[in-house]
């Protein structure tokens, strides 16, 4: 299994592949044919968000326990909303907590990264359009979400979409543990077996009305356990086979 990272270099980033616990520069095209390049020199490396999507497509209320936690009925079809590109940050980047926006909450999620252009995709073929899986934190201004008609403001703040630490290629998305930890305390704990709408169904549903491009991200919803974040907290999202996405929270 490959794990795809983006390592900061100068003003940008360079993709690298971890295979057999060794890190190599990616040679070729990430969304095409690639192979292992030269070894990445040993040392401290700053990892960026492994992908910068043109759009983040989010799915709400996709775990039964979270729907119950939010006092919502189970949806008849996926609840879709969007997060802007400007909300995306990477591992160890700071989540800014705006003091004026009320209660800010974490949402631990498994997300899939699209590997090739997807339009009108059928569920039976959907996984062929997936590059891999990553961790995502759907940070939410909960009081704004409750007061607004739609979710754009509550979900779209700058820094409200940490992604990383890598893209894990080749994982079975149907049975992965998903956890969220705040200051060493576990708050989320579930498995993607509990998804109401599994990944292939989501890709078919979304690509029916929206073309997905390489690098775009579809989140799959959060399990129960949402809770508040405040300046000084550290939030960790863990998805089995991917690793840990860790971010500190600061006053924003």
Q: What is the pLDDT of residues 22-70, one digit of tens each?
A: 999 999 999 999 999 999 998 889 999 999 999 999 999 899 878 778 7
Question: For residue 121, with 0-12 CB atoms within 10 Å meaning exposed, 13-18 middle and 19 or more buried, which class applies?
Answer: buried
pLDDT of 85: 97
Give me the residues paired with residue 19 across strands.
Answer: 22
Instruction: Look at the block and give the residue holding tokens 């775990």.
Output: 63
Distance between CA atoms of 59 and 219, rounded to whole angstroms?
A: 6
pLDDT of 44: 87
Average of per-residue pLDDT values in the chain:
96
Residues 8, 171, 120: CA angle, nearest 5 degrees: 90
Give me the residues paired with residue 235 across strands.
Answer: 182, 247
User: Quick check: 138 and 83 in contact, CB under 8 A?
Assistant: yes
pLDDT tens digits for range 198-249: 999 999 999 999 999 999 999 999 999 999 999 999 999 999 999 999 999 9
User: Quick check: 54 and 84 in contact, CB under 8 A?
Assistant: no
Distance between CA atoms of 18 and 174, rounded to whole angstroms?
A: 23
* Domains of the chain, CATH where assigned: 3-47 (no CATH), 49-251 (3.90.850.10)
Q: Is the pLDDT of residue 183 over 90?
A: yes
Among the ranges given (75-79, 114-118, 205-209), the one the predictor scored with the smallest mean pLDDT:
75-79
Q: Is the pLDDT of residue 120 over 80?
A: yes
Q: Give, in order, the Cα–Cα distances in Å from 243 to each of 13, 165, 193, 236.
A: 20, 7, 19, 10
């Amino acid at each position: 299994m490959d794990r795809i990272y983006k390592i900061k270099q100068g003003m940008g980033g360079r993709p690298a592949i971890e295979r057999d616990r060794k890190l190599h520069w990616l040679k070729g095209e990430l969304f095409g044919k690639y192979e292992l390049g030269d070894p990445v020199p040993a040392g401290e490396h700053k990892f960026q968000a492994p992908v910068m999507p043109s759009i983040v497509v989010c799915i709400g209320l996709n775990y039964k326990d979270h729907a119950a936690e939010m006092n919502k009925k189970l949806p008849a079809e996926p609840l879709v909303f969007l997060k802007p590109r400007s909300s995306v940050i990477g591992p160890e980047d700071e989540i800014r907590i705006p003091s004026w926006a009320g209660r800010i909450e974490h949402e631990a999620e498994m997300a899939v990264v699209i590997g090739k252009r997807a339009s009108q995709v059928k569920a039976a073929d959907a996984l062929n359009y997936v590059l891999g899986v990553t961790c995502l934190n759907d940070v939410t201004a909960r009081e704004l979400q409750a007061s607004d008609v739609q979710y754009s403001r509550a979900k779209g703040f700058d820094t409200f979409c940490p992604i990383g630490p890598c893209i894990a290629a080749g994982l079975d998305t149907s049975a992965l543990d998903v956890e969220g930890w705040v200051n060493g305390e576990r708050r989320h704990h579930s498995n993607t077996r509990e998804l109401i709408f599994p990944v292939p169904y989501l890709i078919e549903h979304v690509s029916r009305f929206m073309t997905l491009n390489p690098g775009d991200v579809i989140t799959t919803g959060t399990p129960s356990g949402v809770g508040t974040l405040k300046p000084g907290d550290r939030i960790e999202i863990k998805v089995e086979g991917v690793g840990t996405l860790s971010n500190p929270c600061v006053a924003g």
